[in-house]
Structure 1
């Protein structure tokens, strides 16, 4: 090979190497910029049974999702917290959720729902025409297949002891408790199919055995469910919480999942949820 040809080959290799290095730096910078942007769509937080967006007691403000909105905003997302009827039926709560989402100045949203809020969202997406406005639904501790606690509670307290009649006389809604029974949820799942184009995902909160991380108030219900159905979060069986893509399983009781525990790092949990959505381009 002549010296001229060798020089040309070396020059070409240097040029190609330089272009490759520039391309690598560009793609890396692009990934960094994308990571810093946050999510493509804003987040809507949907509360569970007997929940709220926030309440003020005396001079103190309490959030249902304790510390979560601030953490998600810190990560780079717009966050909206919705309030629905605390003990209304799934259909009533879903209507309120749908109206709230439609009122937002956003093409689509990512709904993160705790407990019954996940059922409200599924109903709104499937039955109330909200599918085009929702990019993803991530449920946490949601009783997609009901919970035995609702079965025994409605049967013994609501019907046998007459609490349902009393609440009706006092104009207190009780439909939510009956909607969470295993029989009602079996019917719900037949009538409320997932919508195409929406990512359905879930996180499962569960303990394999009794632990100090469990809120002591939930110990009786945890033991009851453990005997009946196995691992649970003190309110909902682990198997009932699975819907769509399971993002993960966390050792957090039903209240710790929304930040109401010093034994569980809820902010880090929601940061990982945020990352899971971001990796999927949401």
Structure 2
């Protein structure tokens, strides 16, 4: 019976969790960690699964160093085999860590590395990074998010601000009683309505990091990723695999699915009180904006042709036009690296367990993908099999 150490690496703007109280906490990898621990146990293996705290928007080099430090601090107590799972940019971090930083700084850990799993990762670049880098509107969006939030927090706990959050929270609770969906906005409102001093300091520190260093944006452009892939060869003896995501392009039907929470909304749904709930419409609008900026047809994003087997699987699962699809953030055709573990119709955050299936799961994006619990379980079962099968002695 092998022992495993699994490190979950968040992507751009990623974090481990926000909030102290378990009932109000917003957790990046929470659902993934639970399903992995249960899956290893069912397979007769022992495992430690840990979310890695890095810098949300710093360069790939800075992020890799922070991740390596966490692994060195936690993995020294045993000789368990090591797996890295990176979501979005985290998958690029994981590859750089294994190919560049471990050989230089921690060769003893490299000997224990067994697999690198990337989930919805822009291996050949993210056109959205080019938007944020070159378009002043994109830069402005990031800076406004940081400046507004940090300014509000640094002003201290102003009664009117928190009264406003509490009022909004009360209104959202009333909306749920009328059948409205729970959304990420509800979670954020609930968190902000009861923000403790510790939570306030944590959030301020997170957003300060974002404001001080946004180097990751430049590192993820298609042009920069060409150089990264050239200089970052896969390590012999480490198994590389990817989870590919693609979501439905924005449409009227997609918006209706997002609002009603149903794959096939009927006339009864269209005249229900749910149609009065503005939050899903706003979030679907944000998804539509992000999908457009993800630019799956970007000419400067050069991707290799998949093998006939991979091509057939992607066509069967995501659609004949998968090369022109995106998960709302990362184009589908840029996500393949190594073995294709599985492909799913899902948006960028569905695969973390942030899909619409209350009370335990709340969708962060409203994409109309209709990704639910069975698909989530099936996806991570395949990842578990991939890690366990590759955990034997290194070739």
Question: What's the TM-score once normalised by structure 2's chain length?
Answer: 0.56
- The structure, 1 or 2, with the larger RCO (C-alpha pairs under 8 Å, 6+ apart) is 2
The Cα of 1:95 is off from its aligned counterpart by: 0.5
Please identify, of 141-150 and 227-236, the stretch whose mean Cα deviation from structure 2 is larger. 227-236
The Cα of 1:280 is off from its aligned counterpart by: 3.6
2:380 maps to what in 1? 270
The Cα of 1:137 is off from its aligned counterpart by: 0.3
Higher-Rg structure is 1
* RMSD, aligned CA: 2.9
CA gap of 1:226–1:121, structure 2 versus 1, over 3 A, is closer
For the Cα contact (< 8 Å) 1:40–1:281, is it kept in 2?
A: no
Aligned match of 1:62 in 13, 26, 30? 26
The Cα of 1:144 is off from its aligned counterpart by: 0.6
The 5 Å alignment of 1:1-282 reads: 40-56=3-19, 60-75=24-39, 76=41, 77-103=47-73, 104=75, 105-107=77-79, 108-128=81-101, 129=103, 131-157=110-136, 172-207=212-247, 209-210=249-250, 211=254, 212=257, 216=284, 217-224=286-293, 225-226=295-296, 228=298, 230-262=324-356, 263-264=370-371, 265=373, 266-281=376-391
CA gap of 1:180–1:236, structure 2 versus 1, over 3 A, is same
Quote the Cα distance in structure 2 between the aligned partners of 1:191 and 1:183. 13
For the Cα contact (< 8 Å) 2:296–2:324, is it kept in 1?
A: yes
For the Cα contact (< 8 Å) 1:226–1:232, is it kept in 2?
A: yes
CA gap of 1:259–1:90, structure 2 versus 1, over 3 A, is same
CA gap of 1:219–1:277, structure 2 versus 1, over 3 A, is same
1:33 maps to what in 2? none
CA gap of 1:255–1:280, structure 2 versus 1, over 3 A, is same
1:28 maps to what in 2? none
Quote the Cα distance in structure 1 between the aligned partners of 2:71 and 2:139. 39
For the Cα contact (< 8 Å) 1:206–1:252, is it kept in 2?
A: yes
For the Cα contact (< 8 Å) 2:114–2:237, is it kept in 1?
A: yes
Quote the Cα distance in structure 1 between the aligned partners of 2:119 and 2:384. 13
**Partner SS for 2:217:** helix
User: Structure 2 stretches of 5 or more lacking a match?
Assistant: 42-46, 148-207, 262-282, 299-322, 357-369
Quote the Cα distance in structure 2 between the aligned partners of 1:233 and 1:140. 11
The Cα of 1:274 is off from its aligned counterpart by: 1.1
1:9 maps to what in 2? none
Quote the Cα distance in structure 2 between the aligned partners of 1:222 and 1:171. 24
User: Structure 1 stretches of 5 or more lacking a match?
Assistant: 1-36
**Partner SS for 2:240:** strand
Alignment coverage as a number of residue pairs: 243
Quote the Cα distance in structure 1 between the aligned partners of 2:139 and 2:16. 33
Quote the Cα distance in structure 2 between the aligned partners of 1:64 and 1:259. 9
**Partner SS for 1:113:** strand
CA gap of 1:158–1:87, structure 2 versus 1, over 3 A, is farther
Question: What's the TM-score once normalised by structure 1's chain length?
Answer: 0.76
